[in-house]
Amino acid sequence: MFFRGQTVGKYRILSPLGSGGFGSVYLAEDTWIDKKVAIKVPHRQNLDFGELLREPRLLATLSHPNIVTVLTAEKQDDVFFIVMEYVPGDTLEAVIDRDGTLDLARALDYTCQVCNAMDHAHKHGVIHRDLRPGNVLVTDQGLIKVADFGTSRFLEIAAHGTTVIGSPPYMAPEQFQGKAVFASDIYSLGVTMYQMFTGVLPYDTPMPADLDRLMRGELASPPKLKNPKLPKAISDIVMKAIAPDIPSRYQSASALLDAVLAARTPSPASRRPWRPAPGSPASSPSDEVSDIQARLKARETVQARFCWKCGKALAARADVCPFCSERQ
């Protein structure tokens, strides 16, 4: 759509960053303020203008350090595009392809950050529907940014997104029936966790003939079988996250986050004097948990909260909007 060196409005295209099923992304420079940005150009330019604005409007409702920030949307020379913050680094998919199985502390850190991002999105009524390593950006400093909300939607009165959208290896069973819910994102995150802990997917891309087995939970084996070093508690958490039936999964990203942090903290009955293995860093497992929590807290910023339905401001811990009575 664009080429290197092309000027589009005030943006100069520097290089292509990638292309997916819904659009192409370019690295560009805002020539007015000398700042690098990412420009996403949807493939389908013939959509109604309101439909083209759906993704940037949805992203504008989300403000979180672990979610890519949308800056604006523009139309120049009959080409519609979305301007977003540029996140230098790799996708989590590229990291896994390069490094294979990630070490436990690193994988848990990434998991916690994605949980924070999805908890924020879900609290604003937004289902991602295509959460996978290719849509998770990792900066050089280890900060996670969830991207590509192009397939997302607000949870509607019907209580599910009714279109079959997603990447099959990461799709929850109900998504194949066009019934995405918040727990569908938890399933996708569980598959992503599985891949970080083992370097491989829990199963091959399901074929139509495999859907019954997928829905019975027969395709996935515990990640500990593929990575014996993985603690059983973490392996069990992954299997609960990818449970085929919705009620058996974690019902929120915050519940999954709590389970991960609790599994990394030894119970009082099992605590023993800890000594580092020869050549290993002199920090205990509980120190790793504290470090993860401290880093996550340091990345958090206090954000105003708004009702996902009427858009009016909410009190800090309000569960129900005082204006439209909608539960948050």
Which residues does the annotation mark as catalytic? 130
- 3-state DSSP call for residue 238? helix
Nearest to 150 by CA among 25, 63, 9, 328: 25
The crossing angle, in degrees rounded to 10, of helices 104-123 and 182-198 is 170
Largest CA distance in the chain: 68
Using CB atoms within 10 Å of the CB of residue 164, give its burial: 0 to 12 exposed, 13 to 18 middle, 19+ buried.
middle
Count CA within 13 A, CB hemisphere, residue 49. Answer: 5
Q: Which residues contact 175 (CB under 8 A, 6 or more apart)?
A: 129, 164, 165, 166, 184
Q: To 10 degrees, the CA torsion angle through 179, 21, 253, 210?
A: 50
How far apart CA 80 and CA 283 sit, in angstroms, is: 51
Q: From the CB of residue 45, how many other CB atoms can be counted at a distance below 10 Å?
A: 14
Phi, then psi, of 120 in degrees rounded to 5: -65, -45
Q: Is 178 left (phi over 0), alpha (psi -120 to 50) or beta?
A: left
